[in-house]
Structure 1
Amino acid sequence: MAGRWQLDWLEQPPDAATTPFVLELDADGLALRWTAYPKMLPLRIDFIEGKTAFRAAQASRKHEAIARACGFARNANPHILDATAGLGRDALVLAQLGARVALNERNPVVAALLTDALQRLAQVAPELGARLYFAGTDSLQPRQWLADPVDVVYLDPMYPKGDRKQRAAVKKDMQIFQQLVGADDDADALLEPALAIARKRVVVKRPQHADFLAGRKPESQITGKKHRFDIYFTDYSGVSS
């Protein structure tokens, strides 16, 4: 695993001053520990049990804004590239709703956590697991999808920094994730390659207060209480579903 993701293998317990994060493998799978906070629960991606799995299991096409944004009404089982997969939470919902979802994650530590979670899911729920797969760390390359085109490219870059109240509300697992990954300073650069790949649309998840990605106004939007989905049609064949 260390070799695959080009990570250092530690023979001794880590020094928090020089090694802020470590991946640990146990009977429950791979987990990320923040060494400066030893009492904090490690971050583990779990598609089988817990809040992420529960949310996905309760999801319905009628009530999920992400399903409407991704065009499920027009394409019952779309092939979606989640180009900023992160912890895979939205990807799991999309797969639960019937989509085949390719996960792209460029951070090697998060990629390791994702692939471990996918392996455990495939063992317990093979039908759902077959609809989720890891595509790579740099999948915004048109040539990769010539033989197996994607209908939708989904982008959810790290949110712009909000006010103090918003930062205080971030859950502990997301605190670890944000500290590890940092800001997506090049998020604007993701839109053009996404538009070149998607056969039907690009969907960008943004907080309500955020600017449009790359300053480009979407053709349609679906809004919620905390965030919105900006929709860019690549076939320009209609309005939002």
Structure 2
Amino acid sequence: MTQKESALRVDFVNGAVAHRLRFGGGRGQDLPKAMGLRAGKTPKIIDATAGLGRDAFLLASLGAEVTMIERSAQMHALLLDGMARAKAEGGEFAGITARMRLLHGDAKDLLPGLGGEAILIDPMHPPRKNSALVKKELRQVREIVGTDEDAADLLRVALQSASKRVVLKWPAKADPIEGVRPCSHQIIGKSTRYDVFMLG
């Protein structure tokens, strides 16, 4: 592992994740709304592209059982380490991580056998059209996991596998992924949008 990559770590206890846990706005945030979390409704969720695990942690903090899938062995190891440290922290953090399960493998192979109600897909986003540098952390993730050229294939598998909805997390101004049916509705934030595909 290079020096640059070794600086990358999954941290659920400090920094941005802890701040979002305290002050994020609960189920009123765009992601929980997109995933179908509302009063009396807490779907079983699969995060098919776990990455740094932040979205899964947020959803688990709101009571959802979340199965994370990560195909990069290096990211999978970082996630395991981050979950172990959060569990060791005890209290609220241990309770949240108890609702998170991590699988190693290709989501296209695993999704058909998992039967999730709601599936979240957050592939590596296309290069930005402006020249603003992507955050160092996300550049490091991209170096590890690559460019997710099979995002359209994954989305199609998810649409066949989920029972209630599939949500694509995507840059607010990016073109839709080609070769996939139009979404049912969108939740659009400042820099991110959620394309929601309702099923059933």
Note whether the superposition's TM-score is higher than 0.5: yes
Determine which of 105, 108, 118 is the counterpart of 2:73: 108
Q: CA deviation at 1:180?
A: 2.2
Ranges in structure 2 where 5+ consecutive residues have no aligned partner: none
Q: CA deviation at 1:75?
A: 5.5
Residue of structure 2 in register with 1:186 after alignment: 150
Determine which of 121, 130, 133 is the counterpart of 1:155: 121
Cα distance in 1 for residues equivalent to 2:42 and 2:135: 32
Code of the aligned partner of 2:100: L
Q: State yes or no: 1:134 paired with 2:102.
A: yes
Alignment of 1:67-216 (within 5 A): 67-73=32-38, 76-124=41-89, 125-140=93-108, 141-142=110-111, 144-145=113-114, 149-166=115-132, 168=133, 170-213=134-177, 214-216=179-181
Q: CA deviation at 1:56?
A: 2.7
Residue of structure 2 in register with 1:34 after alignment: 4
Q: CA deviation at 1:208?
A: 2.0
Are the structure 2 counterparts of residues 57 and 64 from structure 1 closer, same or farther at C-alpha, using a change threshold of 3 Å?
same
Cα distance in 1 for residues equivalent to 2:149 and 2:183: 20
Cα distance in 2 for residues equivalent to 1:107 and 1:142: 16
Residue of structure 1 in register with 2:17 after alignment: 52
Cα distance in 2 for residues equivalent to 1:187 and 1:155: 8
Tell me if structure 1 keeps the 8 A contact 2:155–2:180: no
Are the structure 2 counterparts of residues 223 and 164 from structure 1 closer, same or farther at C-alpha, using a change threshold of 3 Å?
closer
Structure that is richer in helix per residue:
2
Tell me if structure 1 keeps the 8 A contact 2:169–2:192: yes
Q: CA deviation at 1:48?
A: 1.1
Tell me if structure 2 keeps the 8 A contact 1:60–1:97: no
Are the structure 2 counterparts of residues 154 and 75 from structure 1 closer, same or farther at C-alpha, using a change threshold of 3 Å?
farther
Tell me if structure 2 keeps the 8 A contact 1:103–1:134: yes
Cα distance in 2 for residues equivalent to 1:90 and 1:142: 18
Q: CA deviation at 1:111?
A: 0.7
Post-superposition Cα deviations, 1:123-170, rounded to whole Å, max 9, x if no partner, equal: 22321111111023224435532xxx321000000111112423x2x2
Q: Secondary structure in 2 aligned to 1:44?
A: coil
| Length-normalised TM-score, structure 2 | 0.88
Code of the aligned partner of 1:156: D
> How many residue pairs align between the two structures?
195
Considering Cα pairs closer than 8 Å and 6+ residues apart, tell me whether 1 or 2 has the greater RCO: 2
Tell me if structure 2 keeps the 8 A contact 1:61–1:68: no
